[in-house]
């Protein structure tokens, strides 16, 4: 099953690269996300090595993969907003709202996604859901605020759990939240963002994906 899932992710990543081939050119800026499906897209990028103005990355892990292959990774501050951003999701609904952050890179992912003109989500069909919230919601917090933020989440009805032994690439801590009702993801995203000490949360509603590439019966399908 695991190998089959990996093959599906490879097919999706290849489809995403094929979709972008005619749209990328020497002045294009490409944003790269984080995660297992995105890693297969990175393999495609390394193999085809298109001529681009710049590549920006949402995590140290993705940056290392790219740089180990000899590709230069730029800072977002230096090149401006990407024309396309390619990343996965832990959950995605029919409105292309997502939960992301299982890998802990949610803040940088949200920054690059928000700065990008086009956000392409790539994932396998198991990530498609009717309602967001079964997958734990990651919240990146300033360390001194962790307990305070957790108490506010309890008041909201969620069950917070500290991700022990993990620090984000920004040096912050992560709280994973279960049992939070997300009938209106945008409202929950904004409410959590307004808690002092929160850096970012893993609800991607105010910046949804523009395009989803997902498998349907083993075949990659593009949904807008």
Positions marked active-site = 109
Alpha helix ranges (H) inside the chain:
2-21, 36-48, 60-68, 76-79, 106-115, 146-155, 185-193
Reading the block at residue 100, the tokens are: 């992301």
- Cα–Cα distance between 106 and 100 in angstroms, integer? 6
Burial of 22 (0-12, 13-18, 19+ CB in 10 A): exposed
Do 31 and 45 form a contact (C-beta atoms < 8 A)? no
Among 134, 180, 137, CA closest to 156: 180
- Using DSSP bridges, classify how beta strands 91-92 and 137-141 pair: parallel, antiparallel or unpaired: unpaired
């Amino acid at each position: 099953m695991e190998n089959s899932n990996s093959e599906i992710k490879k097919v999706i990543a290849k489809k995403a690269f094929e979709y972008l081939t005619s749209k990328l050119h020497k002045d294009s800026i490409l944003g790269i996300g984080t995660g297992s499906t995105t890693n297969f897209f990175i393999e495609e990028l390394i193999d085809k090595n298109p001529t681009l103005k710049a590549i920006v990355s949402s995590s140290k892990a993705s940056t290392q993969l790219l740089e180990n292959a000899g590709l230069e990774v730029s800072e977002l501050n230096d090149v401006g907003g990407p024309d396309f951003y390619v990343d996965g999701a832990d959950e995605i609904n029919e409105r292309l709202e997502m939960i992301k952050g299982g890998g802990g890179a949610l803040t940088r992912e949200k920054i690059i996604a928000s700065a990008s003109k086009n956000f392409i989500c790539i994932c396998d069909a198991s990530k498609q859901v009717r309602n967001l919230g079964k997958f734990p919601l990651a919240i990146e917090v300033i360390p001194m605020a962790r307990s305070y933020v957790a108490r506010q989440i309890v008041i909201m009805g969620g069950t917070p759990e500290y991700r022990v032994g993990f620090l984000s690439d920004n040096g912050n801590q992560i709280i994973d939240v279960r049992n939070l009702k997300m009938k209106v993801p945008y409202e929950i995203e904004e409410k959590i963002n307004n808690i002092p000490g929160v850096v970012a949360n893993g609800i991607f509603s105010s910046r949804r994906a523009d395009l989803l590439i997902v498998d349907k019966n083993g075949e990659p399908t593009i949904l807008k």
